[in-house]
Amino acid sequence: MDLNKRKIPHYSDDLHFFKGRLYKVGEINDDRLQIRIVPHMLGIDEKEQDNLPKFPPLVKGQVLKGFTEVDDGVDKASLVYVIATPDFQYGFVLCLANQFESISTQKMSDSIAFSKVTNFLSARGVSDKKFPYKDTVVEKFVMSDDGGIVDLYNFRTGESIKLLSTGTLLAVLDNTIIMRVGSPGKSPAEKVPFSEIRMDPTAIIMQSHKIHLSAKAVLLGKKMKGHTVLGTIAVSPGTGHNGFNLTPLRSPDGSGIFA
């Protein structure tokens, strides 16, 4: 293949495919990204860099962000794919990009280390057993000095997890939904505050240091002779606060019931 013959006519209005480096993100009410097209614009004088082209995302309603030359330096700046006219007066940003790779037996240099993904999960008390590498689509995996996120799903089962570095979690599994803020300790003996709601077909389990209900009426349990009851295994009766009145009743076996 003669690469010299693959030149783009500068008078063309057709959109062509380019690689670029993210120079600067847009401002509020202007979601365009300023792009340094590579290699075409590598030699631009520093005084002219503010004139680098600005392109919007291709998909309407989408806002793209990444590491930039201005904020993070050239070495960390994100690569993007762009479609644009040959004179770069008109174009769109498609997405963040991997490094270009040749057809070879070497492994892809920008591959996500899947062990880092599984370690990210397990370090925050999340099992990766439902997400083997061969079935798992990683939508996003970011780790930085300010935090991180992993967003993935199993394309066979549809099960998905979104997990932040703080431990905040939303997991939709085949028969369970888990919502959590904070991260449990690495062992049962480690007391780390966190709140979690776990729902399956038979139960809803809430776990937290404190559960505060703010409502005019709280109905718990089934109707029994006109009363709404709450069963408890607490040693002492519940205490009403802010106008709530809990009247302790006792069943024949001594277990507590509040009506």
Residue count (the chain): 259
Find all residues with CB under 8 Å of 20, minimum gap 6, and list them. 35, 36, 37, 38, 79, 80, 81, 82, 93
Using one digit for the tens of pLDDT, what is the confidence trace for 99-114? Answer: 665 555 565 555 566 7
Mean pLDDT of the chain: 78
Here the tokens at position 181 are: 């803020």
Residue 223 has pLDDT above 50, yes or no: yes
Which has the higher per-residue pLDDT, 240 or 95? 95
The answer to which of 25-29, 112-116, 118-122 has the lowest mean pLDDT is 112-116
Residue 203: its pLDDT value, please? 92
- CA angle 156/131/166 to nearest 5° reads 130
35: left (phi over 0), alpha (psi -120 to 50) or beta: beta
Find all residues with CB under 8 Å of 36, minimum gap 6, and list them. 20, 21, 22, 23, 42, 44, 49, 52, 69
Using one digit for the tens of pLDDT, what is the confidence trace for 162-179? Answer: 989 888 889 999 999 999
Percentage of residues of the chain with pLDDT beyond 90: 29
State how far the Cα of 123 lies from the Cα of 210, in Å rounded to an integer.
24
- CA angle 38/21/24 to nearest 5° reads 135
Which has the higher per-residue pLDDT, 89 or 219? 89
Using one digit for the tens of pLDDT, what is the confidence trace for 12-21? Answer: 678 999 999 9
Q: How confident is the model at residue 188 (pLDDT cuts 50, 70, 90)?
A: low
Task: Report in angstroms the alpha-carbon separations of 170 from 185, 191, 197.
Answer: 18, 22, 10
Which has the higher per-residue pLDDT, 235 or 19? 19
Residue 237: its pLDDT value, please? 54
Q: How confident is the model at residue 3 (pLDDT cuts 50, 70, 90)?
A: very low
Closest among 79, 30, 87, 77 to 53, alpha carbons compared: 87
Using one digit for the tens of pLDDT, what is the confidence trace for 42-77? Answer: 988 888 888 999 999 998 888 888 889 998 899 989
- pTM of the predicted protein model: 0.58
